[in-house]
């Protein structure tokens, strides 16, 4: 039987992130095909809400249904156990993605070769950078016309603010796309547009092998040699430790739809991507190899059926072995808990598991005990850090429209916030409840769920705010003076912390200039 340490070493827990439409779902599916977790393409449903002008309720429900099924996809690939954590495609659920990134050990970023780095990718990369998460970049859709690969590399470097290093290189793109030279393995794969078949490999000794000329023609072979010479001259040597500390991103080229370049990506990924890393708790750093179990809740998924208000709490195992029916301490409440039906997600099937190891995700059925960020341990008082809330981008006051149901509304709001659907702030000036989100769709989700799950009705009152930022200072008098001066714009978050509501970028800059002793933070963890 494998030891815990062997189990840890063979685990790769990661997320694929991209701007919508770059090919995340397609790539995920192809990885699952290689892992034997699915047998036909098309089995993984896209969890994105199609971008219609108005999103309707069915879409939201569908999204919730699909995303629980695809929240975690575990499968074995060779000796490795791979856990892909799914992230919502729609950018209005970006906060959910940020949290998922706290539970992964590395990330694969998918970029569309025609579109380059898009807004959502830039934002998600910022979160990766904050945590020094190792990233591999997959430039997708080489079968379509797109931009020059060198230009894409420059853009990746400047927009994502990370040093890049190509590990594969395309021979032409679009209609003339012939294949990819794998710099990491020194091999050549020829492209045949076919959605199911894996590419054809040409055996070569090195880049000067005449077999390349025979396979792609002399002109393209000579261009490939020139390109590679340039790459060797311009880009640093690939260094795994720089990748692991998040300062260097290897880049692969391919076409997910054609299953091209995907196996090379996966083979390199399992070799270089990190196994579960130590995790920081407020008290100390926890090593995955420690025997006692520890884990934290990074996602809560509500049941679709409004008659059964149950949820699944997703727990990332950080250390030790998680066992079914063992007694674990829920640190926030101090309660001991036993889980009779924890589930894991293997090969697209959700089933009850008896044990799980660091890097694994277990789903725990819950009826409202858990909040995002909760820590579970074998007994030690630990609080995992690293589940920050980010300053929301849209704000609305929430108003009760059915005075008979104010209790239901209160409860609904509280539980939805515990689930991490949005953030609640209480304006200290007028006592009103302000909900902050990253997108319009979340307001619709909240209103819909309050009505259907809690029988409470609400109405939104738009408020024009630029940002909510957490403030602190080493100088208490300065802090009090600031709060007094800005009393109309002060709020507290769910944990009672001071938040400044800046109604414009200008006001915020002025406040930063006028109050140098105050620190303004754009995420709740500082």
Q: From residue 361, give the alpha-carbon distance in Å to each of 83, 296, 357, 466.
A: 8, 10, 8, 36
Q: In the stretch 247-266, what mask flags binding to ligand G4P with x, by CB under 6 A?
A: --------xxxx--------
Do residues 429 and 490 make contact, with C-beta atoms less than 8 angstroms apart?
Answer: yes
67 interacts with ligand G4P by CB under 6 A: no
* Distance separating alpha carbons of residues 374 and 385, to the nearest angstrom: 10
Helix (H) or strand (E) holding 28: helix 24-34
**Site size for ligand G4P, by CB under 6 A?**
19
Report the b/e string of 79-100 with b at 16+ CB within 10 A.
ebbbbbbbbbbbbbbbbbbbbb
Tell me the CB-side half-sphere exposure of residue 354, using CA atoms within 13 A.
Answer: 0
46 interacts with ligand G4P by CB under 6 A: yes
What distance separates the 2 farthest-apart alpha carbons in the chain?
81
When binding is defined by CB under 6 A, the residue of 25, 55, 423, 442 that contacts ligand G4P is 25
* Distance separating alpha carbons of residues 86 and 97, to the nearest angstrom: 8
First to last CA, the chain: 42
Please say which residue, 190 or 337, places its beta carbon nearer to ligand G4P: 190
The length of the chain is 526
Do residues 120 and 19 make contact, with C-beta atoms less than 8 angstroms apart?
Answer: yes
Please say which residue, 55 or 255, places its beta carbon nearer to ligand G4P: 255
Please say which residue, 17 or 344, places its beta carbon nearer to ligand G4P: 17
Please say which residue, 105 or 143, places its beta carbon nearer to ligand G4P: 143
Q: From residue 77, give the alpha-carbon distance in Å to each of 109, 266, 269, 457.
A: 20, 9, 11, 49
* Distance separating alpha carbons of residues 113 and 140, to the nearest angstrom: 6
Sign of CA pseudo-dihedral 406, 412, 415, 416:
negative
Nearest one of 384, 411, 247 to 315, comparing CA atoms: 384
Segment interacting with ligand G4P, rule: CB under 6 A, options 135-143, 314-322, 357-365, 423-431: 135-143
141 interacts with ligand G4P by CB under 6 A: yes
63 interacts with ligand G4P by CB under 6 A: no
Tell me the CB-side half-sphere exposure of residue 311, using CA atoms within 13 A.
Answer: 21
Segment interacting with ligand G4P, rule: CB under 6 A, options 19-27, 362-370, 487-495, 498-506: 19-27
User: Which residues within the stretch 299-358 sit at the binding site for ligand G4P (CB under 6 A)?
Assistant: none
Q: Which residue stretches of 189-295 are H helix?
A: 210-216, 218-234, 240-244, 262-272
Segment interacting with ligand G4P, rule: CB under 6 A, options 138-146, 158-166, 373-381, 467-475: 138-146
Please say which residue, 55 or 415, places its beta carbon nearer to ligand G4P: 55
Segment interacting with ligand G4P, rule: CB under 6 A, options 139-147, 263-271, 273-281, 505-513: 139-147
89 interacts with ligand G4P by CB under 6 A: yes
Helix (H) or strand (E) holding 153: helix 149-160
When binding is defined by CB under 6 A, the residue of 140, 199, 423, 428 that contacts ligand G4P is 140
Please say which residue, 48 or 405, places its beta carbon nearer to ligand G4P: 48
Q: In the stretch 451-470, what mask flags binding to ligand G4P with x, by CB under 6 A?
A: --------------------
- Phi, psi angles (nearest 5°) of residue 141: 70, 40
User: Which residues within the stretch 401-420 sit at the binding site for ligand G4P (CB under 6 A)?
Assistant: none
84 interacts with ligand G4P by CB under 6 A: no
* Spatial strand order in the sheet of 490-492: 458-462, 394-400, 433-437, 423-427, 490-492, 498-502, 467-472, 519-521
When binding is defined by CB under 6 A, the residue of 18, 67, 423, 437 that contacts ligand G4P is 18
Please say which residue, 89 or 373, places its beta carbon nearer to ligand G4P: 89
368 interacts with ligand G4P by CB under 6 A: no
Please say which residue, 110 or 434, places its beta carbon nearer to ligand G4P: 110
When binding is defined by CB under 6 A, the residue of 7, 86, 143, 264 that contacts ligand G4P is 143
195 interacts with ligand G4P by CB under 6 A: no
24 interacts with ligand G4P by CB under 6 A: yes
Segment interacting with ligand G4P, rule: CB under 6 A, options 18-26, 121-129, 404-412, 503-511: 18-26
Map 398-443 to HEC letters: EEECCHHHHHHHHHHHHHHHHCCCCEEEEECCCCCEEEEECCHHHH
144 interacts with ligand G4P by CB under 6 A: yes
In angstroms, what is the minimal distance from the CB of 27 to ligand G4P? 7
Q: Which residues bind ligand G4P (CB under 6 A)?
A: 18, 20-26, 46, 48, 89, 140-141, 143-144, 255-258
């Amino acid at each position: 039987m494998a030891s815990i340490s062997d189990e840890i070493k063979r685990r790769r827990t990661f997320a694929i992130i991209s701007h919508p439409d770059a090919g995340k779902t397609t790539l995920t599916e192809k990885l699952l095909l290689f892992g034997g977790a699915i047998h036909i393409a098309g089995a993984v449903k896209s969890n994105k809400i199609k971008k219609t002008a108005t999103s309707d309720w069915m879409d939201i429900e569908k999204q919730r249904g699909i995303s629980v099924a695809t929240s975690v996809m575990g499968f074995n690939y060779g000796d490795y156990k791979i856990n892909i954590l799914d992230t919502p495609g729609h950018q209005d659920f970006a906060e959910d993605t940020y949290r998922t990134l706290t539970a992964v050990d590395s990330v694969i970023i998918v970029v569309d070769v025609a579109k380059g780095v898009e807004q959502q990718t830039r934002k998600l990369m910022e979160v990766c950078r904050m945590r020094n998460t190792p990233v591999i970049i997959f430039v997708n859709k080489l079968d379509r016309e797109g931009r020059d690969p060198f230009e894409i590399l420059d853009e990746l470097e400047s927009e994502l603010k990370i040093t890049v290093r190509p590990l594969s290189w395309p021979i032409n793109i679009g209609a003339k796309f012939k294949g990819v030279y794998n710099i990491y393995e020194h091999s050549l794969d020829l492209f045949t547009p076919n959605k199911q078949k894996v590419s054809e490999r040409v055996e070569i000794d090195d880049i000067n092998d005449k077999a390349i000329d025979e396979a792609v023609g002399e002109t393209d072979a000579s261009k490939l040699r020139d390109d590679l010479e340039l790459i060797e001259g311009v880009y640093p040597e690939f260094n795994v430790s720089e990748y692991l500390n998040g300062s260097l991103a290897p880049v692969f080229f391919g076409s997910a739809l054609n299953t091209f370049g995907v196996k090379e990506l996966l083979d390199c990924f399992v070799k270089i991507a990190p196994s579960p890393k130590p995790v920081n708790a407020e008290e100390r750093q926890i090593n995955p190899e420690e025997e006692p179990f520890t884990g934290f809740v990074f996602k809560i998924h509500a049941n679709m059926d409004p008659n059964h208000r149950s949820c699944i709490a997703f727990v990332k195992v950080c250390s030790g072995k998680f066992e079914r029916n063992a007694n674990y301490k829920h640190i926030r409440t101090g309660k001991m808990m036993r889980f009779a039906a924890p589930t894991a997600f293997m090969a697209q099937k959700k089933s009850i598991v008896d044990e799980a190891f660091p890097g694994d995700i277990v789903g725990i059925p819950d009826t409202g005990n858990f909040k995002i960020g909760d820590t579970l341990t074998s007994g030690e008082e630990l609080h995992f850090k690293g589940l920050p809330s980010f300053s929301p981008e849209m704000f609305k006051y929430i108003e009760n429209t059915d005075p008979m149901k104010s209790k239901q509304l209160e409860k609904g709001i509280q539980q939805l916030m515990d689930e991490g659907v949005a953030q609640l702030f209480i304006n200290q000036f007028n006592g009103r409840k302000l909900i902050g989100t990253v997108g319009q769709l979340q307001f619709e989700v909240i209103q819909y769920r309050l009505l259907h799950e809690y029988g409470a009705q609400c109405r939104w009152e738009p408020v024009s705010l630029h940002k909510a930022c957490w403030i602190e200072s080493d100088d208490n008098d300065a802090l009090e003076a600031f709060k007094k001066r800005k009393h109309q714009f002060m709020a507290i978050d769910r944990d009672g912390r001071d938040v400044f509501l800046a109604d414009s970028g200008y006001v915020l800059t002025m406040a930063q200039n006028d109050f140098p002793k105050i620190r303004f933070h754009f995420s709740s963890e500082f």
